[in-house]
Each structure stands twice: as C-alpha cells, then as structure tokens.
Amino acid sequence: MIGVERDQEIERIMRKKMEEMMRSQQQKGTSNEPKLIELNEQNFDDVINGSKPVIVDFWAAWCGPCQFMLPIFDRLARKYGDRMVFARLNVDENNAVAARYDVYAIPTFIVFKDGKMVDRAIGAVGEMGLERLIKKYIV
C-alpha cells in the first residue's frame, strides 16, 4: 500500500509540474512572438480597416535595408502588438497595392488609421525612428 500511495504522490507532483511548465510556455509564446500579418492584395483592405491602427512594412526579399529593418520591426511588434497591428507586404508579389500608395522606395512604413493612410517613413529609419512613428498612433 505504501508503494502505491508513494507512486500516486509522485504522479500528482509530476502532473502539477507539467501543468506549470505548460502554462509558462503558453505565456512566453504569447508575449515573445512577433504579431506580424503577411499582407497580400486579397487581405490588405480588410486588415487596414480594422479597429486598431496598422503599420505596414512595404519590403522585398532582395532589399538589404529591408532585411536590416526586419528584426527591428519584429521587436516593436512584440512590444506594441497589443495596441497596433503590424503587417508586412512584399512589393514584388503585390505591386498593385504598393503602387496604390505610391511606394517607390523600400523599405517604406505606412501607418493606417480607420482605413486611411495617416503617416509614412521611408528608408532604414532605425529603431528609434520607427518607434517614434508608432508611438504617435498607438491607442
């Protein structure tokens, strides 16, 4: 009997530890993962017409400054993703959308509020420059 009780106690402790670890992992996942939406011609209008302000990174795979800005954009998405939508649009794959917003240099970051373009930054503006732009519009 003592062995059975001991086994049950060990199993209870292990189950409790496993639940704690799973809760911890879930909390880490939600706060650490960048909240980026990949845009295309089909979903673009739906995303920019949402209730939160949206910042869109217009980029291309071959663009060095775009690659430089990606980890910065990811960091800021983790930091402000609960107050602003962070999205990316590949201009090579969606050139009609890029042309609609006069995006001729990349990276270009455009802020939308209630579906309307309200601000933009062009080039590798760095973390401080991009964060300054974001802070003007976060709710």
Q: Which domain holds residue 9?
A: 1-32
pLDDT digits (tens, 9 = 90+) for 38-53: 999 999 999 999 999 9
Three-state SS for 59? strand
- Do 104 and 49 fall within a single domain? yes
**Comparing 1 with 57, which gets the higher pLDDT?**
57
Looking at the structure, do residues 18 and 78 belong to the same domain, yes or no? no
User: At which residue do the structure tokens 């530890």 appear?
Assistant: 17
Q: Which of 95, 79, 92 is nearest to 130 (CA)?
A: 79
pTM listed for this prediction: 0.76
Place of tokens 């089909």: 42
| Under 8 Å between Cβ of 66 and 95 | no
One domain, residues 38 and 102: yes
Shared-domain flag, residues 18 and 79 = no
Concerning whether 22 is annotated as a catalytic residue, the answer is no
Catalytic entry in 48, 55, 63, 134: 63
Same domain, 26 and 38: no
For residue 88, list its beta bridge partners: 38, 57
Residue 87's CATH number: 3.40.30.10
Q: Are residues 11 and 21 in the same domain?
A: yes
Residue 63 is a catalytic residue = yes
Same domain, 82 and 42: yes
Catalytic hit among 48, 55, 56, 66: 66
Q: Using one digit for the tens of pLDDT, what is the confidence trace for 90-131?
A: 999 999 999 999 999 999 999 999 999 999 999 999 999 999
Q: Structural domain tally of the chain?
A: 2
Choice between 7 and 33, residue whose per-residue pLDDT is larger? 7
